[in-house]
């Protein structure tokens, strides 16, 4: 069970992240089997299940990418602790791409859940990108059209020799403007 308890919400109910999820015709049976083996599993409608899967994909793509472009070995925990702003900006950019390309809006609090997972489970996991898994993690327009993800992938290739055998999206010309977000554009205020 890799679920992470994040505390309680305003209503006094426990908040969880990274829990298994089941949907579809046999969702109850699947959830029951998981819970019989002490694995927390939620039963969700397809739309919510899909949101959770994209949330996890964003976690698997962003945190290792931000950490692998450092001069010293960096863990997922250290990315959450020391490079929060970079990871957060990239997560919000990917969230916007999901709305545009997949008509998916991540559920409120996704950033807190992803950082909670990184802080609780990432202390021993060194950031690295596996070239064989690249098409499955980054091979979607949600990531390839993200200017920050694109810039970090090219930076990893050019400066660290990572991803030499992978076809990346073309480099986007730098307009001279910073890619950092200005102002408060987040839905949660």
155-172, pLDDT tens digit by residue? 999 999 999 999 998 887
What is the reported pTM? 0.84
Beta strands in 98-154 (DSSP E): none
Pairing of strands 41-43, 20-22: parallel
In 3D, which of 88, 109, 75, 87 has the Cα closest to residue 6? 109
57-99, pLDDT tens digit by residue? 999 999 999 999 999 999 999 999 999 999 999 999 999 989 8
Mean predicted lDDT score pLDDT of the chain: 87
Residues comprising the chain, all counted: 189
């Amino acid at each position: 069970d890799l679920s992470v308890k994040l505390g309680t919400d305003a209503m006094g109910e426990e908040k969880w992240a990274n829990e298994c999820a089941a949907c579809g015709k046999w969702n109850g049976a699947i959830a029951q089997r998981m819970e019989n083996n002490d694995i927390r599993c939620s039963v969700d409608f397809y739309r919510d299940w899909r949101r959770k899967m994209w949330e996890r994909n964003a976690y698997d793509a962003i945190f290792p990418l931000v950490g692998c472009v450092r001069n010293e070995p960096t863990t997922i925990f250290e990315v959450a602790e020391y490079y929060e702003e970079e990871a957060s900006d990239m997560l919000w950019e990917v969230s916007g791409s999901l709305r545009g390309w997949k008509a998916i809006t991540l559920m409120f609090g996704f950033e807190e859940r992803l950082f909670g997972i990184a802080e609780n489970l990432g202390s021993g996991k060194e950031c690295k990108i596996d070239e064989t898994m690249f098409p499955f993690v980054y091979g979607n327009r949600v990531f390839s059209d993200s200017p920050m993800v694109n810039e970090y992938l090219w930076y990893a290739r050019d400066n660290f020799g990572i991803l030499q055998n992978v076809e990346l999206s073309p480099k986007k010309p730098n307009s001279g403007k910073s890619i950092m977000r200005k102002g408060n554009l987040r839905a949660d205020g």
